[in-house]
Each structure stands twice: as C-alpha cells, then as structure tokens.
Structure 1
Amino acid sequence: MNFSEAIRYGFQNYANFSGRAQRSAFWFWILFCVIAGIVTGALDMAIFGSDSWMPINSLFSLATIIPNISIAARRLHDIDRSGWWQLLHFIPLIGTIVLIVWWCSRGTPGANRFGPNPLGE
C-alpha cells in the first residue's frame, strides 16, 4: 500500500473498528497525520500568531481522532490483539513503547479471530 492509498483507506474506514490493517497502511496514516499537523500548526502560527489558540490544527486533530483510534485498533487486530490494548497509552512511557513495538510487529500469518490477512498471505 502506498501513501495515497493509505490516506484513502484511513478516511474510507473512518470509524471501522473491525478487521485488520497492514503495517504500511498504519504507518503511512501516521506519517500523513504528522505532516498535516505540522502544516496546520504552521498555518495557525502564520495567521493567528504564536501565542494564540490554534484553531486549524485543533479542527484537524478533532477530525482525525476517530480514524487514528480505529486504524490503531485494526493494526492491533493484525497481530491478534484486541483494540482495547490501546489503553496502555495511559501508562506513561512504558505503555506507549509496548504499543509501538506491537505496531511494528509483523501480523499473524493467515486468518486470525479478527479476519483474513490483509496482505492475502
């Protein structure tokens, strides 16, 4: 999956918490969110100044919070873990490190309890 396909996939599955997501779809989506966050932050600073509220960036973050959670859940499904494991984010540092390691891990080969392999293997 390439960058533009991953963005399309992220918005097409806006609130889809079932199924599996391959690593490239997840990481390209994260890259898109980081780049767009930098661009919207820069726009806010250029338009509203550096000491003000950042409305464009806030709206972008609000618009992408549900797809961020859903694609992260589908990525966890790919390694046969429940999406509820995202609650590890609430454990400072350690929880996020564990999630990053899991998100980088190869998905389970073949079908698992969350569906068929998105790579078709």
Structure 2
Amino acid sequence: MFTLFCLFFSLFAIALDNVFEIAIANIGFGPLYILYVLAVFLPSLSATVRRLHDVGKSGWTLLILFIPIVGALWVFIQLVKNGIMEENQYGPCPKSPSVN
C-alpha cells in the first residue's frame, strides 16, 4: 500500500507541475515532484529495509542495487516474494496470527 500511495502522489505531483507550467523543459517534472521525492526518500528506504527483513535479508543487501540491471532485478524479486512465516533474526512475522 505504501508503494501504491507513493506512485499515486508522485504522478499527482508531476501532473501539478505540468498544469502550473513549472515543469522543467525536456524532463517532464518540476519542483513539486522534486520536493515530494525528497520528503518520501527516508520513509521509502525504511519500508524497503523492513520488507527485506520480512524475507530474512539484511538492509545492507539494498546496496546490491549498485550492480547495474542484475542488482535491481534481484532486489525486485526479494521485495515481491512471500516473507518468512516464522520469527527470524529481525523479529516476528507481521502476518503471523500470533502477532497481534
């Protein structure tokens, strides 16, 4: 849901940049989108690390994104696969029925 929220509001910010005609030429976005990206950077980084913890990976494995193409593909696969249903070194599974 967080990613969907970010996608929706980033598209909205880009649309506002273009409606108010403050978008940078040949780029398609402007200052509203840039401010939004800066505001959401740390929360999205935190959500991504939490998701990696759900699948049993360290947050440091996010640095694999520096490997072109293969790194992004590997991180994407880790983010979309099901998490570990039992407790791991990062804490209990948030989907587990015993966590409430």
Scaled by the length of structure 2, what TM-score is found? Answer: 0.86
Which whole-Å CA distance do the structure 1 matches of 2:23 and 2:58 have between them? 42
What is the aligned partner in structure 2 of residue 25 from structure 1?
none
**Alignment counterpart, residue 70 of structure 1, candidates 43, 46, 51:** 46
1:32 maps onto 2:5 in alignment: yes
Q: How many residues are treated as equivalent by the alignment? A: 94
In the other structure, the counterpart of 1:96 is 72
Letter of the 2:11 partner, please give it.
I
Superposed CA RMSD in Å reads: 1.5
Segments ≥4 residues shifted beyond 4 Å:
none
User: Offset at 1:50?
Assistant: 5.3
Gaps of 5+ in 1: 1-27
**Alpha-carbon shift at residue 89 of structure 1 (Å):** 1.3
Other-structure match for 2:56:
80
Report deviation, 1:49.
Answer: 4.5
Give the Cα separation in 2 of the matches to 1:81 and 1:72: 11
Q: 1 CA distance for matches of 2:51 and 2:73?
A: 15
**Does residue 42 of the first structure (1) align with residue 15 of the second (2)?**
yes
* Structure 2: tracts of 5 or more residues without a match: none
**Greater helix share, 1 or 2?**
1
Correspondences of 1:99-118 after superposition (within 5 Å): 99-118=75-94
TM norm structure 1: 0.72
Query: Share of identical aligned residues, percent?
Result: 32
